[in-house]
């Protein structure tokens, strides 16, 4: 379970990085740029890793052929360390990942692979538009699967000390896959994910499928294998193809935060009683009313609002990011329906990491926040903001808005 959680967190991290780092061409996968000291340490690490791998059941003869070919890639570490200056908002994120072109391409993919998608959809109980939406977000429909040797990427990250246990496990899993001959050559992202749906080795190991029955689970080059593997993963998590991911809503009255915090999830009909209505102005139908849903406010009460169903939570288990999950759902809708707008009006204000640090500092002074003022929007920061909002009678959305910052600055100046 712990491993799973680390994987989820890590996927968010790489996704955010991939958005912000200009996709770099790793043309030179050589060690030229590395200084000799790191190179020496890397060779020593290989010896230690060799012992660990043997303990985990990798054949020593196999390691003798593979290990000498593994290289340290300095740019993997550079990419891994990059952080963006601004927090992603719903609008900046969706502008990037749900472009008009991506929607058009998605509709074309639905036509082009209609029979394959329908067959996969029936077999696993996952609607085709969701498979296409994941595919679009992960690799732009297979056009950016990554060209980095996965062995080198994972070895570099396993050698680096920051998340050694996590990547060592992924690397050993990859070696087991290679040793079993399921697939022998892996290329993908700098973070060690590969194939049309960017699986990490542990995900591949648990869920990959040989759909075209050629004896290999080839999620990089075979679309039947890739689609079935993604559908199998979603299906095993409990995907429900009689429901969607959720729906955009409008908040028409002051929210009852005590009830929302106490219950978390409520039937759509309960939300309706709290004044949470469909954004398109239509009434909920009888089939939707009993569905358990939670309220998702990616940029606070003043931004767009959504009711999210169980499938939404499964998208977040694939990649533990609210913005990613919303994007998969919205892209799926836009691919499937001719008219699937977002009704909320785009907001312009974007706060930077420095702004968030400032908010954290104010909340620390006031006794609401007790962690590092790092400019990262984590659980502790969200809770501190919620607690402070509650104390001054504001909506408890936990969102670090410009309005909140202005308010705190005024307070601080007193």
Q: Which residues of the chain form contacts with Ca ion (CB under 5 A)?
A: 210, 212, 214, 216, 218, 222, 225
| Complex with Ca ion: residue 218 or 397, whichever CB lies closer | 218
CB-wise, 198 or 327, nearer to Ca ion?
Answer: 198
H helix and E strand count, the chain: 19, 7
Nearer to Ca ion, 218 or 396 (CB): 218
φ, ψ at 353 (rounded to 5°): -65, -35
Q: Rounded to an integer, what distance in angstroms lies between the CA atom of residue 302 and that of residue 272?
A: 19
**Least spacing, CB of residue 254 vs Ca ion, in Å:** 55
- 226 versus 276: smaller Cβ distance to Ca ion: 226
In whole angstroms, the minimum distance from the beta carbon of 183 to Ca ion comes to 9
Report residue 327 as tokens. Answer: 């994007």
3-state DSSP percent of the chain in helix, strand and coil, to 5: 55, 5, 40
Q: Nearer to Ca ion by C-beta: 147 or 214? A: 214
Task: Report, in Å, the least distance between residue 189 CB and Ca ion.
Answer: 22
CB 331 within 8 A of CB 136: yes
Show Cβ contacts of residue 377 under 8 Å, excluding neighbours closer than 6 positions. 87, 356, 400
- The residue among 170 and 218 lying less far from Ca ion, judged by its C-beta, is 218
Nearest distance from C-beta of residue 210 to Ca ion, angstroms = 4
Contact 63, 53 (CB under 8 A): yes
Q: Please state the closest distance from residue 310 (CB atom) to Ca ion, in A.
A: 31
User: Shortest approach of Ca ion to residue 240 CB, angstroms?
Assistant: 28
- Compare residues 227 and 312 and give the one whose CB is closer to Ca ion: 227
Q: Which is nearer to Ca ion, 195 or 246 (CB)?
A: 195
Residue 143, C-beta contacts closer than 8 angstroms, at least 6 positions apart: none
Q: How far is the CB of 152 from Ca ion (least distance, A)?
A: 24
Q: 294 in helix, strand or coil? A: strand
Least separation in angstroms between CB 203 and Ca ion: 17
Between CA 245 and CA 10 the distance in angstroms is 23
Q: CA–CA distance from 345 to each of 94, 250, 348, 406 (Å)?
A: 13, 12, 10, 22
DSSP 216-256: ---TTT-HHHHHHHHHHHHHHHT--TTS-SEEEEEE-S---
Choice between 190 and 227, CB closer to Ca ion: 227
CA distances from 167 to 115, 274, 293 (A): 37, 46, 35
Distance between CA atoms of 208 and 231, rounded to whole angstroms? Answer: 10
Q: Which is nearer to Ca ion, 213 or 282 (CB)?
A: 213
Cβ at position 115, least distance to Ca ion in Å: 17
Check: CB of residue 280 under 8 Å from CB of residue 333.
Answer: no
Gap between the Cα atoms of 197 and 138, Å rounded: 6
The distance of closest approach from Cβ of residue 116 to Ca ion in the complex, given in angstroms and rounded to an integer, is: 13
Q: Which residues contact 315 (CB under 8 A, 6 or more apart)?
A: 245, 324, 325, 328, 329
Our CB check for Ca ion shows the closer of 213 and 339 to be 213
Tell me the closest approach of the beta carbon of residue 221 to Ca ion, in angstroms: 9
């Amino acid at each position: 379970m712990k491993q799973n959680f680390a994987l989820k967190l890590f996927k968010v991290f790489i996704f955010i990085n991939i958005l912000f780092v200009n996709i770099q061409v790793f043309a030179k996968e050589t060690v030229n740029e590395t200084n000799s000291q790191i190179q020496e340490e890397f060779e020593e690490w290989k010896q230690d890793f060799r012992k660990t791998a043997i303990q985990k059941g990798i054949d020593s003869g196999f390691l003798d052929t593979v290990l000498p070919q593994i290289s340290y890639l300095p740019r993997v570490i550079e990419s891994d360390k990059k952080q963006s200056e601004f927090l992603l908002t719903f609008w900046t994120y969706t502008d990037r990942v749900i472009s008009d072109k991506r929607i058009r391409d998605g509709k074309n993919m639905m036509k082009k692979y209609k029979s394959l998608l329908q067959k996969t959809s029936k077999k696993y109980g996952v609607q085709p538009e969701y498979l296409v939406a994941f595919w679009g977000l992960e690799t732009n429909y297979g056009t950016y699967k990554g060209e980095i040797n996965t062995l080198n990427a994972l070895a570099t990250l396993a050698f680096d000390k920051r998340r050694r246990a996590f990547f060592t496990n992924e690397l050993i899993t990859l070696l087991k896959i290679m040793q079993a001959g399921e697939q022998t050559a892996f290329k993908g992202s700098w973070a060690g994910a590969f194939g049309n749906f960017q699986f990490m080795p542990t995900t591949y190991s648990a869920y990959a499928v040989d759909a075209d029955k050629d004896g290999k689970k080839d999620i990089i080059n075979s679309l039947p294998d890739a689609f079935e593997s993604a559908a199998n993963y979603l299906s095993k998590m409990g995907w429900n193809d009689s429901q969607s991911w959720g729906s955009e809503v409008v908040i028409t009255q002051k929210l009852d935060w005590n009830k929302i915090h106490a219950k978390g999830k409520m039937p759509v009909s309960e939300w309706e009683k709290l004044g949470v209505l469909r954004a398109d102005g239509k009434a909920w139908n009888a089939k939707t009313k009993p569905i358990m849903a939670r309220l998702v406010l990616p940029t606070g009460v003043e931004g767009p609002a959504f009711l999210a169903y169980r499938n939404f939570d499964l998208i977040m288990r694939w990649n533990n990011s609210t913005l990613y999950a919303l994007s998969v759902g919205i892209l799926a809708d836009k691919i499937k329906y001719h008219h699937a707008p977002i009704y909320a009006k785009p907001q312009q204000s974007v706060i930077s990491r420095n702004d968030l640090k400032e908010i954290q500092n104010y909340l620390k002074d006031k006794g609401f926040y007790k962690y590092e003022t790092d400019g990262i929007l984590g659980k502790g920061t969200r809770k501190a903001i919620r607690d402070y909002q509650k104390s001054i009678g504001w909506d408890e959305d936990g969102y670090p808005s410009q309005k909140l910052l202005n308010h705190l600055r005024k307070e601080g100046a007193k």
